[in-house]
Amino acid sequence: MISAQQDYIAALATGIQGRINSSAKRLKSLGAGNKTIEQIKAKRQKLENLPFYAEIDGIVSHLMVNQGSYVKPGMQIATIQDYSSVWIDVSVAEKDLQFIKKDGKATVSFPNLGNIERTARIDYIHPTIDADSRTGQVRLVMDNPNGTLRPGAYADVIFETNIDKRLSVPSEAILKSAEGDFVVMALGAGRFQSQLVQTGVSSRGRTEIKYGIENGEEVVVSSQFLIDSESSLRESFRKLQKVQTPLSLLEVNKDQQAMIDHLIDAALYLHEVQTTDAEIDTAMLMPALKLNDHLMPKFRGTKLQFILQDAEKALMAANEAITEETQQQALAQLVTALKPWIMEGKPKYYKDKGIKLYLDHGTGNHWLQLKGDMTNPYGSGHAVEVELPDKVDAEAPTVTAPAGGAHAGH
């Protein structure tokens, strides 16, 4: 390197451009950068300690050497990251991926930065689905000229999609059977008729109807169960029987039980957050938030449906909770929703797993905890353990169809 510098300085003295370019090229081949070569040219003297400059502006994210370290050829000594633009990885529910297109726009807000909003572009949609959370990954690209956005931070994302008008009915108007989805049409004069429909997306308590009924036709929304057999929909009575079936008699397979256990895990996690002064990690709640897409078709019309719906509302409240008080309210709401399933559905199952249910007398709120010393998430008030029963006595209900003409409740 010293020899190459001397050749370059000598070439500069001759003023022969070809020789200057040749000697400069030799310096570059040995690793000297353009800025270093300019220094040699300006000083017209060799550098005993040759400086190496980063080729881009940025932040040193990794530094693998200290002063006095020995550097070997090929050794990486630092990583410099340019944060002028950043990627945002978004978890999107599997059922919603169909509405997202590459190069589409999204509005991104950052809770930890005062909810400032930025516009981002959809750069890539991953082709795979996470088997546990049933979500797909979507990558956004966003400019970050002032460096306020930092890797590892959380963001809320709203995607812009093509808005289409869709015919929809309240979700509770849809009756599910092995033959498909039905609604009960009101024909007037006390007459009703079941109608096979194809459903689409569901949102905020309404479900899209792709075909089967037309705009303006009337369907029965509530009290469907009072419609008798003249409606040709015996599924109505099967659904009524499911509503009356005790939780302890519901058939729940191993996979479904594992998904329900995500709700228990969420309650245990929220208790841990409250008793350790930690911040809620929304990723820890994601498996529980997504399970209703899989469980609701199976348990719609049963007592478990209401438990799942109330638990989902509590988890959404926990996901948005900021203050300690709102976090406590979300925990209490979640355990209140789960309590019937724990006490009446699978008490022995959870008892064997070491799950304990506690009651805070001061607030009347419950919480779940694994074996260990009792820690009250609601303060220092008096609390007691609520004993889980070893078994629940329940009999299967009987359902009798109403006699006579068709009737509909109001």
| Beta carbons of 20 and 12 less than 8 angstroms apart | yes
The CATH class for the domain spanning 168-236 reads: mainly beta
CB neighbourhood size of 115 (10 A): 9
The amino acid occupying position 248 is: S
Token digits of residue 222 = 């509530």
Token digits of residue 104 = 């589409």
Domain boundaries, the chain: 1-53, 85-159, 168-236, 248-386
* Residue 391 predicted with pLDDT over 80: no
Distance CA 293, CA 97 (A): 14
Mean pLDDT in residue range 127-155: 87
Q: State how beta strands 356-360 and 383-386 pair.
A: antiparallel
| pLDDT computed for residue 281 by the predictor | 84
| pLDDT computed for residue 179 by the predictor | 67
Distance CA 231, CA 224 (A): 10
- With CA atoms as reference, report the closest residue to 382 among 361, 357, 356: 361
| Beta carbons of 182 and 194 less than 8 angstroms apart | yes
What is the dihedral angle through the alpha carbons of 14, 19, 20, 23, rounded to the nearest 10 degrees? -120
SS3 102: coil
Token digits of residue 114 = 């005062």
β partners of residue 175: 182
Distance CA 237, CA 266 (A): 35
Q: Which residue has the higher pLDDT, 151 or 68?
A: 68
* pTM for this prediction: 0.42
Task: Give the model confidence (pLDDT) of 165-180 as tens digits.
Answer: 889 999 888 887 766 7
139: number of CA atoms within 13 Å, CB side? Answer: 10
| Residue 26 confidence class, pLDDT cut points 50, 70, 90 | very high
Same fold, 85-159 and 168-236: no
> Span 85-159: which CATH code?
2.40.30.170
Averaged pLDDT of the chain: 83
| pLDDT computed for residue 238 by the predictor | 47
> Buried b vs exposed e over 131-169: b needs ≥16 C-beta within 10 Å?
eebbbbbbbbebeeeeeebeeeeebeeebeeeeeeebbb
